[in-house]
Chain A
Amino acid sequence: MIRIEPRNSTSRAFALGIPILSAVVSLALAAIPLMLAGANPIVAYGEMIKGVFGSVFSISEMLTRATPLIFTGLAAALAFRAKLWNIGAEGQLYLGAMAAVAVGSGAFDVPGIILIPLIILLGAAAGAAGMAAPTYLKIRFGADEVVTTLLLNFIILIFLQMMLEGPLQDPMGLGWPQSAPVLDQGMLPPLVDRMRIHSGLIIALVAAGIAQFMLARSVWGFKLRAVGENAAAARHAGINVNRSLFGVAIISGGLAGLAGASEVAGLKGYLTADLSPGFGYTGIVVAMLAGLSPVGVVIAALFIASVFVGADSMSRAMGVSSFLADLVVSMSLLCVLVGGFVAKYRIIRADTGKAAR
């Protein structure tokens, strides 16, 4: 008979060792598909590390990929803290991106000092609106937000296609369903010359810092935590639960919108329907890995981005199918998940027969 008990105390070495052990185990597991595909795992691991940390370029690439994940991770983490299950960050990301190109690609030809804040604000506002609607339906009609936000992802993606073939289409784009580019002065400044890493990362980090601080130290965060942990008690204590939910919905949607705005105005320059390879969904994973802590989101996003970029680059160096990258990411995700469990609980074999006599 197996029983699970919380660990009473965890030593520092143990707490540090577990994540490392999880990473090692996930790498060991990755050897299986590698060998199936006929590659030498040891060489592959070397290539993987080189792919993330081998050069300034690779580090910059990793950070570039982590940037939207920090935003969507925060979006999920904050909403989930209030038990508002926002599965719609993917759609909200696109709403933010649409708003960013709608204002940024020539509608207002103003200096960057005005245009950049405008893009960021409207991007966030559009994302916020995308989460406000399902939250309203939840509060007013009791419509489950998991479903509405999930379905909205599809609706928004189709809507995006419609916009890109209609009002948002670039007249100079030779008919491609893509938006006009964001004006040069509207682009978020790059952080390193000739690299893709851009100041969206700074915004993301600042957002994480603010979220961490507000959650722990502000009345707003207090209410949010109370609503999430026990809405009935929060309501009884005089906290306006609906207002709290609505507030966090706006912020969560806004962060997801920022992810889209930052991808468009920081990286791509214009909008296509394949802007995000599922950043919204990965954000949920990031948030949960982080234990819904904003600072944890940064770490988890860096982790996921490193594994992906590393495995992706390794698949090329080793000449195995590039689907390997997602496979390695998913395996490390599951390993880290189990690792987190091992850190908190221990599994004991309780031999009941012996206890009986």
Chain B
Amino acid sequence: MPEQVLSLNGLSKRFGSVVANDDVSLTLRRGEVLALLGENGAGKTTLMNMLFGHYLPDAGTIDVSDEAGRMRPLQLGHPQAALAAGIGMVHQHFTLAENISALDNITLGSEPLLALRRDRKAARAKIEGIIEKSGLKAPLSIPVGRLSVGERQRVEILKALYRDARVLVLDEPTAVLTPQEADTLFENIKAMTNEGLSVIFISHKLREVLAFSDRIAVLRHGVKVGELETSAADEKAIARMMVGAETPKVSRERMAAGAPVMQLKGVSVVGRSKRDTLQCVDLEVRAHEILGIAGISGNGQNALAQVISGLAVPTAGAIHIVDSEISKPTPQAMVSAGVGRIPEDRHREGIVGAMTVAENMVIERLGDMQVQSRGLLRRDAIQSNAKKLAKEYDVRGPGVTAPSRLLSGGNIQKLILARVFEHAPKLILANQPTRGLDMGAAAEVGRRLLEARERGAGVVLISEDLDEILGLADRIVVIRDGQLTETESHDRERIGLMMAGEAA
């Protein structure tokens, strides 16, 4: 049996009244990949943040093995101590400074601050060595702000490896990666575990958990509810452990497409970067159909989403929603024309975090008589509407009069779904609708999209999660370099190659 490298002993942490972790213990062995699972808000990130010293546990201790393999107590609450003990962490949200280069981000904190000179050559050589061994390629000299998400993710891991991490924590590392990128990443990591690296990774994607982990630990409501060898696990069992019940499988029935609800004719958008550019695109979405847009991030998805949301005005081409042309696209015009929009970044574009849940539910419809009369808000109506929607769409949290930022990611998404679906839109733009959501919440989103399709809406589903597209879409279009290519195939491999531009 391989030696232990890490043991978390009875860690607890509460935030106000929320018990994020309750007496959690966990061990990790040398060369092992441990998957940490749980619903949104189960306490996975909190646990890892205590390990890394961002949070100070209310109770419990942590032991880490030193170079010689002896277990030693870790000083809690100090990232420096964790780094020194060989713990590296890749955070759920990037912790990169975008105005400095990858090299600077990687070496940050490893050099004496008061030195008058830096040895950038040596640093670069060391990083290049790590890149060679791990296969994690990223441009080192340009500001990180100009890197793609995938590159940033790799820089994050390089940061940890540069500090000679022996225990690597990856908090949802693939949430923003394409399947191929994710696979490559895990293959690289696997290779490193053979050299003694131990890994804890958090993910909501059961496919990668089953494919790459050695062992699985599951958290529910801050408590560790189970631990099992991956070889003995299957999706159903894990899901039951996480949620405490079966999750309904989303099923899709065949359905004949109806009349077109949206047509883009020769639409072009000139943007500052590739992700904001569309080149003379034709696209048609019909009633009763879900159109999946597959592609590697940064290939124009953003421009397409912006056009449909009314945020970008095309430099050429025409947009028709149902029968009428939208001559002056604005978000307002799109909403009035019957377009429901689920934005990619729900925190940044989806909600105004400081405003209440109820307010966020009416924010797109401030002109409606149910919302206002003579310029004054009808607060009672807004509130009762919110209560009704919260119930109907199962938006859970501290209540409709609480600031919406207090909601968990999954519940924020449900809030947006409620806002969008409530008005029976004819066209729905769903941009990365399940990113970062747990299985239960993701299934709920899928179910709602299928329901809308059944009702007669057309759906544009933009996703980097190919499995999601394959599961939901009637038709699939691949986006690459701002151009669209329709494909008849529903084959993972083939579409993956098209996304990479290696097959037509």
Contact = CB atoms under 8 A, between A and B. Distances in A.
Contacts of A218: 375-377
Q: Which 10 A-B pairs have the closest CB atoms?
A: A238-B331, A238-B332, A229-B354, A352-B77, A237-B363, A236-B349, A230-B352, A229-B352, A237-B364, A226-B352
Given A233-B351, A238-B334, 19 more contacts: A1-B56, A1-B77, A218-B377, A219-B366, A219-B377, A222-B377, A223-B366, A225-B355, A230-B348, A233-B348, A234-B352, A236-B343, A238-B331, A238-B335, A239-B366, A240-B332, A355-B77, A356-B75, A356-B76
A232 interface: yes
Contacts, number: 92
Contact of A230 (B76, B353, B375): B353
A219 B375 contact: yes
B57 interface: yes
Interface residues of B, number: 39
Given A3-B56, A352-B56, A356-B61, A238 B352 contact: no
Interface string A224-253: 011001101111111110000000000000
A283 B307 CA distance: 42
B190 to A, nearest CB: 33
A192 interface: no
A250 B110 CA distance: 51
Nearest to A350: B56
B349 to A, nearest CB: 4
16 contacts: A1-B56, A3-B56, A219-B366, A219-B375, A220-B375, A222-B363, A222-B377, A230-B352, A230-B354, A233-B363, A236-B309, A237-B363, A238-B330, A350-B77, A352-B76, A355-B77
B366 A235 contact: no
B338 interface: no
Contacts of B363: 222, 226, 233-234, 237, 239
A140 interface: no
Contacts of A355: 56-57, 76-77
A357 interface: yes
A218 B366 CA distance: 10
Contacts of B351: 230, 233
A356 B363 CA distance: 48
Interface string A328-350: 00000000000000000000001
A217 interface: yes
A233 B352 contact: yes
B59 to A, nearest CB: 8
Nearest to A221: B377
Contacts of B377: 217-219, 222
A234 B354 CA distance: 12
Contacts of A357: 61, 73
A233 B56 contact: no
Contacts of A175: none
Contacts of B330: 238, 240
Contacts of A223: 366
Interface in A107-163: none
B215 interface: no
Given A233-B351, A355-B56, A219 B73 contact: no
Contacts of A167: none
A223 B359 CA distance: 10
A1 B79 CA distance: 13
B16 interface: yes
Contacts of A226: 352, 355, 359, 363
Nearest to A213: B376
A338 B377 CA distance: 36
A230 B355 CA distance: 10
A357 to B, nearest CB: 5
A238 to B, nearest CB: 4
Contact of A217 (B74, B350, B353, B379): B379
Contact of B341 (A1, A230, A236): A236
Interface string A295-336: 000000000000000000000000000000000000000000
B78 interface: yes
A355 B56 CA distance: 9
A9 to B, nearest CB: 9
B372 interface: yes
Interface in B2-36: 16-17
A50 to B, nearest CB: 43
Contacts of A222: 359, 363, 366, 377
Contacts of B311: 235-236
Contacts of B366: 219, 222-223, 239
Task: Tell me which of B332, B343, B359, B376 has the highest count of chain A C-beta atoms within 10 A of its own C-beta.
Answer: B376
Given A8-B17, A226-B352, A226-B355, A238 B364 contact: yes
Contacts of B350: 233, 236
B78 A352 contact: yes
Nearest to A9: B16
B75 A353 contact: yes
A85 to B, nearest CB: 18
Interface string B298-335: 00000000000111000000000000000000111011
A352 B343 CA distance: 42
Nearest to A352: B77
A3 B250 CA distance: 46
Task: Tell me which of B77, B330, B335, B372 has the highest count of chain A C-beta atoms within 10 A of its own C-beta.
Answer: B77
Nearest to B403: A229
A350 B56 CA distance: 8
A222 to B, nearest CB: 6
A354 B78 CA distance: 13
A237 B331 contact: yes
Nearest to A1: B77
A8 B16 contact: yes
A236 B334 CA distance: 11
A223 B17 CA distance: 32
A298 B364 CA distance: 33
A232 B348 contact: yes
A168 B366 CA distance: 46
A226 B361 CA distance: 13
B421 to A, nearest CB: 16
A236 B331 contact: yes
Contacts of A220: 375
A215 to B, nearest CB: 11
Contacts of B61: 356-357
A239 B57 CA distance: 43
B369 to A, nearest CB: 12
A6 B364 CA distance: 32
Nearest to A229: B354
Contacts of B310: 238
A298 B57 CA distance: 43
A214 B348 CA distance: 26
Interface string B364-396: 101000011001110100000000000000000
Interface string B60-96: 0100000000000111111000000000000000000
Nearest to A234: B352
Nearest to A7: B16
Contacts of B73: 356-357
Interface string A1-32: 10100101000000000000000000000000
A357 B17 CA distance: 26
Contact of A232 (B349, B354, B375, B376): B349
A233 to B, nearest CB: 5
A119 to B, nearest CB: 28
B56 A217 contact: no
A239 B330 CA distance: 10
Contacts of A219: 366, 371-372, 375-377
A264 B329 CA distance: 48
